[in-house]
Amino acid sequence: MASLRDIKSRITSTKKTSQITKAMQMVSASKMARAESNAKAFVPYMGKIQEVVSSIAGSTDASHPMLVSRPVKKTGYLVITSDRGLAGAYNSNVIRLVHNKIKERHSSNDEFAIIAIGRIGRDYFQKRGFNIIEGITGIPDQPSFSDIKDIANKAVGMFSDGAYDELYLYYNHYVSAIQQDVTEAKVLPLTDLETSSMQTSYEFDPSAEAILEVLLPQYAESLIYGALLDGKASEHAARMSAMKSATDNAKDLINSLSLSYNRARQAAITQEITEIVGGAAALE
């Protein structure tokens, strides 16, 4: 049985850990509120740019290489994870899905390429010898488009240059503070544009082809940026939930240790009384 000093030491250290996890929970809650606001604010822009692109692609004879499927010789995977842990299953869920998809679709590293946003995902695939062509870390908690413009532009440009023939995006979609869904989205080619009979009618000047030449890369880059905003909100929500669980577990452990401490202390006092009474009886 542990001594009173050992139990007291564990109680003290657990209380300190509880204070840290509680502080991290509060920080993550604050960051989550702002990240959620950023993600929701980006939705109207994405809806409008998709409407314009769909209108051009669906109502004209304009064509663009990014709208055309081609034989798939190599697949690109853009994976969004975090730079830090302590976020529950946030990173492992995305990594597991990507890993399984790669094993399912490919038999060698020459058939795919990975673009990793976030240290956790990058390190995971590097250690296992996967083909990583680009990795970026240090993305702020509240990212702006300029923070990922280069990597997004490069991801789209590599498709246009034929480095791979399709590009998939993997990230955690923010549903609520307690629910984040792992999502797979096909970014390129843009063959799944949604069209609606209620779309606004547009007149194009200059030509539709010239507009598509500029708008389609921006649209693909916006898909990546929107997924990053979604992923950041999910990351903060997952970390907040993980730290809340850690704080609750610490409190339960403190209660259990306090009970053990009181029992051990009572047993020690009882033993001392017994020894005193026994000694007094021996002297009579």
Q: What's the pLDDT tens digit per position in 192-238? A: 766 554 556 667 677 777 778 888 888 889 999 999 999 999 999 99
The reply to whether 252 and 161 lie within a common domain is no
- For residue 254, the model assigns a pLDDT of 94
CATH number at residue 187: 3.40.1380.10
- For residue 83, the model assigns a pLDDT of 92
- For residue 202, the model assigns a pLDDT of 65
- For residue 277, the model assigns a pLDDT of 81
- For residue 54, the model assigns a pLDDT of 79
Amino acid at 183: T
Which conformational region is residue 138 in: left (phi greater than 0), alpha (psi within -120 to 50 degrees), or beta? Answer: left
β-strands 166-176, 179-188: how paired?
antiparallel
The reply to whether 213 and 238 lie within a common domain is yes
Name residue, tokens 């250290």: 13
The reply to whether 250 and 238 lie within a common domain is no
Residue where one domain finishes, among candidates 242, 257, 272: 242
Neighbour order of strands in the sheet with 75-80: 132-136, 112-117, 75-80, 166-176, 179-188
The reply to whether 199 and 59 lie within a common domain is yes
- For residue 248, the model assigns a pLDDT of 95
The reply to whether 37 and 168 lie within a common domain is yes
The reply to whether 136 and 167 lie within a common domain is yes
- Cα 270 from Cα 275, distance rounded (Å): 9
The reply to whether 64 and 172 lie within a common domain is yes
Which conformational region is residue 248 in: left (phi greater than 0), alpha (psi within -120 to 50 degrees), or beta? Answer: alpha
- Cα 117 from Cα 132, distance rounded (Å): 11
Closest CA to 122 of 138, 134, 108, 107: 134
The reply to whether 85 and 187 lie within a common domain is yes
The reply to whether 123 and 198 lie within a common domain is yes
Count of domains for the chain: 2
- Cα 248 from Cα 18, distance rounded (Å): 8
Q: What's the pLDDT tens digit per position in 127-175? A: 999 999 999 999 998 999 888 888 899 998 898 888 899 999 999 999 9
Q: What percent of the chain has pLDDT over 70?
A: 93
The string over 179-218, giving b where at least 16 C-beta atoms fall within 10 Å of a residue's C-beta and e elsewhere, is ebebbebebbbbeeeeeeeeeeeeebeeebeebbeebbbe
The reply to whether 248 and 162 lie within a common domain is no
Q: What's the pLDDT tens digit per position in 170-196? A: 999 999 988 999 999 999 888 776 655
The string over 246-259, giving b where at least 16 C-beta atoms fall within 10 Å of a residue's C-beta and e elsewhere, is bbeebeebbeebee
Q: Which two tokens stand for residue 153?
A: 């532009």
Q: What's the pLDDT tens digit per position in 56-103? A: 776 656 677 788 888 989 999 999 999 998 898 999 999 999 999 999
DSSP H or E run through 65: none
The reply to whether 192 and 99 lie within a common domain is yes
The secondary structure of 129-179, three-state, reads CCCEEEEECCCCCCCCHHHHHHHHHHHHHHHHCCCCCEEEEEEEEEEECCE
Q: Which two tokens stand for residue 118?
A: 């976030």
Q: Mean pLDDT, the chain, as a whole number?
A: 88
The reply to whether 103 and 232 lie within a common domain is yes
- Expressed as residue numbers, the domain containing 64 is 31-242
- Cα 148 from Cα 222, distance rounded (Å): 10
Q: Which two tokens stand for residue 17?
A: 């850990």
